[in-house]
Each structure stands twice: as structure tokens, then as C-alpha cells.
Chain A
Amino acid sequence: MNIDVTINGESRTIETEGHRRLLDVLREELGLVGTKEGCGEGECGACTVLLNGEPVNSCLVPVGQLQGASLTTIEGMAGSESLHIIQDTLIRYGGAQCGICTPGVALCAKWALEKEPDASKERLRELLAGNICRCTGYQAIVDAIVAAQESAPETSLKDAKEPGDE
């Protein structure tokens, strides 16, 4: 089947079978290998992408469900000149180590801060609870997200247009 979808702002038509996992189509057909496979069972959140703005495990979505949808992967998170502020704080606060969970964490954090810009640290932990990290112990990740939250006016969370915005 032909699937018309907007990926990272660009209109694409994908020709594939609809039952295939979105994760596999991203990695194997589209070369978007920033999305990682962790458990492949919806437990770890490593393969998180934003589908119509909401975080989903791409290992659990049959790609046929993307007809007409809008998708953001980690490749579409940064601006052309600068990283998204959450990517920037994840680096600065040591919120990334081996890197497998990082794309999913970054995208889920972007969604969480857009959904609830004033979320408490406790609430952010709840919203990010579907992203499992085996390296950092989470503290550095949460610190990075809180730093992004504190340093960013609401608009910059959406498009990270202000590189020096801290």
C-alpha cells in the first residue's frame, strides 16, 4: 500500500505493507536510524517517536496507521543551525551515556514540556516513566529536562530557534 505521511515536516509517500512495524520502516526503508530498537515489546521507550504530536512506541505501531499522519523522529528535533534546547541540556547535564534511550527520552521530554510546561519534577518523572535508561540512574536526565524547562520560554520548547537561550 502507499502511505502518505509527513515526516519531520516533509511530505513522503511510503510504499510498503501496512502491518509492518513503524520502527522497521523508519530504519530500513527511510534510513532514519536515529530511532533505536530496545526491547521491541513496548516496555522500554527507546523507539519513541511523536505521532501527531503524541509519544508512541514505534515498535508497536503498524505503519498502515500512519496514513495522513504527521511524524517527528529524533532527526527532526534539532533546528538547522542548533540543537533543540532539550538535546542541549541532555548533553550539558550528562543525561546521555550509551545513547540507546536518548532519542526516545529527548522526544518524550519535548512532548511532556509542551503538554505541561509547568509540570513538577515528580510529574515529569511520571510522564517520562515509559523511557527506561540503564546508564544514568535518571537523575541527570531529569535535571536536564528541568533545566530546559526553567531556561526556556514556552515557545522555544517547540522550535528551539534561540541557540543561546539559557
Chain B
Amino acid sequence: MSEFISPRNLASSLEARAKHPEYVPIAGGTDHMVASKDRGAPAGMINLFGLSELSEVSELEGGGLRIGACVTYARVLDDERVASRFPVLSSACREVGASQIQARGTLGGNIATSSPVGDSLPALLALGATICVASVDGERRIPYEEFLLGYRKVDLAGNELIVAIEVPVQHKGAVQTWRKVGTRRAQSISKLTMAAVAHLDDGKIAGIRIALGAVADRTVRAKAAEAALLGQSPNDESATRAIKALAGEIVPIDDVRSNADYRLGVAQNLVRRFVLSL
């Protein structure tokens, strides 16, 4: 008999998680139900979907937002604060699956699954998000970059749950760009994604984060490309240096959706276009 627990609040969710580490914590189910289709009954499920403490978007001091782990893509899209402050995140959520997936899939679920092609992940990385996790022993806050440990592997212990994502306020006037390359506009699993955020000071790039999906075992920052651009004017010359640096730091793979050469070429084109758009 497979147990299905729907805790009433976060505290009882954490107790259930501690008591039953073998149970599957489930939010929208859009990843898990596909992966588990032919695997028979799970030991149990801990249902988190709709839990009010995990489903709210609240203000952080200074203009950032704290987005509950079970906030769906649809709720993100409906939130005007997200749209105005973090358009790169809204744009990414708009291109996840389609209406049905957006109604159910959650940011916390995308982060927990941590597929290298998870669509919201580059946006969160480019925005410098922090992941908040909790267990019966207390809370931890981890910069998203450090939370990503490897292929579908994140820094989450067996008794912990992701509870929220904190997105800090961005520099005034920062340019935020999202690009998804897939076989069709809706529903497709990405061949490659890029989220980038940058701002200029006196004509020079004073801050830049470029995050790429589907070019490594996890979502990554293009740090060499960023370093090649920092302090430079955005022009053809600096863009060329950046995409050369990019070729030295990412090693995309061949798979059913695309191949390594194509992915590298597209990543370079996207980065170049972003630089020239600044």
C-alpha cells in the first residue's frame, strides 16, 4: 500500500519528510509522473502542491521577491512584480511546456529535478537567486550556483525540502534577455537556453551574468565569457573575445535533440547578440 500524505502546513511537511525519507515529495507532478510512469507504486508521496506557505510571492527588503517553491509557472506569469522586475524569469516561464504544464509545474519542482534543460533555471542563475531549503532541524540559504552539484543533482539532503527562491533586486536599467532554442515554440524540450542580465556604467559593462542551459551536465554560468566582457564596451570586438572564451569553457554534448557543434555555435550567436543589444 502506497501512502499519500497531504500535510496541512510546512511544519508537518518537514516532519513527514524526516519520518519518510523514501517518500517522493511531489508538487505539480509534471516531471515525476512522467519519470515514474512504468515504475509501479512509489513507497509513498508527500503532496506539497497548493500548500499556502509554499505558494506565495512576497516582498523582500530592497525590492527583491521571495517566491514560494510551489508557485506555478502560471502564477509567476500572472505576477506583475515579477514581470516588471524580472522579465527574464517571466519570459522563461512563458516558454515552459504550454498552458497545462504551466498550471501545474512549479519553480521548486524545476529546481529539484534540475534537468540540464530546465527552462526556469538559467533565468534564476542569471538573476543571482538564492535557494531556501528547510528541514526539521532548521533552514539553510544557498546561492543557486552552489546549490547545483551535477547532473540532476542538487545540494538537498534527504530530510530537506526546497521552500522558496529569493530573487534579489537587479541593477536599475539592467538589460534582461531570455532565449530558448527548440524545435517548435511550445512544448519542446530545449536544444539550448540562455538567460543573461547586464548593466552598463558610462558605456562599459559594469555587471554581467550569462547562464546557459543544455550545454553541460547542469545549468551553468559562462564565467570566462563574462570576465571577457566586464569593464569593456559592448561592441563587435568585445563580443568576439567573449565568444572565444565561451568556446573554451562549455562542452556541449551530442544527443537526440541536437549536437555539440550546433549547440556551441548557437550559444556563441546568442551571447554575441546579447552583447550587441546592450
Contact = CB atoms under 8 A, between A and B. Distances in A.
Chain B, interface residues (CB within 8 Å), range: 20 to 34
Interface in A29-54: 40-43, 45, 48, 51, 54
Interface of A is mostly: loop
Given A43-B187, A65-B29, A130-B97, A17 B4 contact: yes
Contacts of B47: 18, 62, 64-65
Nearest to B189: A43
B33 A60 contact: yes
A130 B186 contact: yes
B74 interface: yes
A112 B47 CA distance: 28
Nearest to A61: B29
Interface in B6-31: 6, 26, 28-30
A64 B6 contact: yes
Give the size range of A's interface with the partner: 20 to 34
Contacts of B103: 51, 54-56
A129 B185 contact: yes
B78 to A, nearest CB: 10
A108 interface: yes
Contacts of A85: none
Contacts of B1: 17
A60 B98 contact: no
B244 to A, nearest CB: 37
B36 to A, nearest CB: 8
Contacts of B49: 65
A1 B41 CA distance: 14
A142 B1 CA distance: 45
Chain A CB count within 10 A is highest, among B3, B6, B29, for B29
A57 B31 CA distance: 12
A130 B4 contact: no
Contacts of B2: 17-19
Nearest to A17: B2
Given A56-B100, A67-B6, A17 B41 contact: yes
Given A17-B41, A21-B33, A62 B26 contact: yes
Contact of A42 (B6, B74, B97, B185): B97
A133 to B, nearest CB: 13
A148 interface: no
B37 interface: yes
Interface in A87-132: 108, 111-112, 126-132
B45 interface: yes
A3 to B, nearest CB: 9
A59 interface: yes
Interface string B35-47: 0010001101101
26 contacts: A17-B1, A17-B2, A18-B47, A19-B41, A40-B37, A41-B37, A42-B30, A42-B33, A42-B101, A45-B98, A54-B74, A56-B100, A57-B104, A59-B33, A60-B34, A62-B26, A62-B45, A64-B4, A64-B45, A65-B47, A108-B100, A127-B99, A128-B98, A128-B99, A129-B99, A131-B98
Interface of A: 1, 17-19, 21, 40-43, 45, 48, 51, 54-57, 59-62, 64-65, 67, 108, 111-112, 126-132
Given A1-B4, A17-B4, A18-B3, 18 more contacts: A17-B41, A18-B45, A19-B2, A21-B33, A41-B37, A42-B100, A48-B100, A55-B100, A59-B33, A60-B28, A60-B34, A62-B29, A64-B4, A65-B47, A111-B99, A128-B98, A130-B98, A131-B98
- Which A-B residue pairs are the 7 nearest by beta carbons? A18-B4, A130-B98, A129-B186, A64-B4, A54-B103, A129-B98, A60-B33
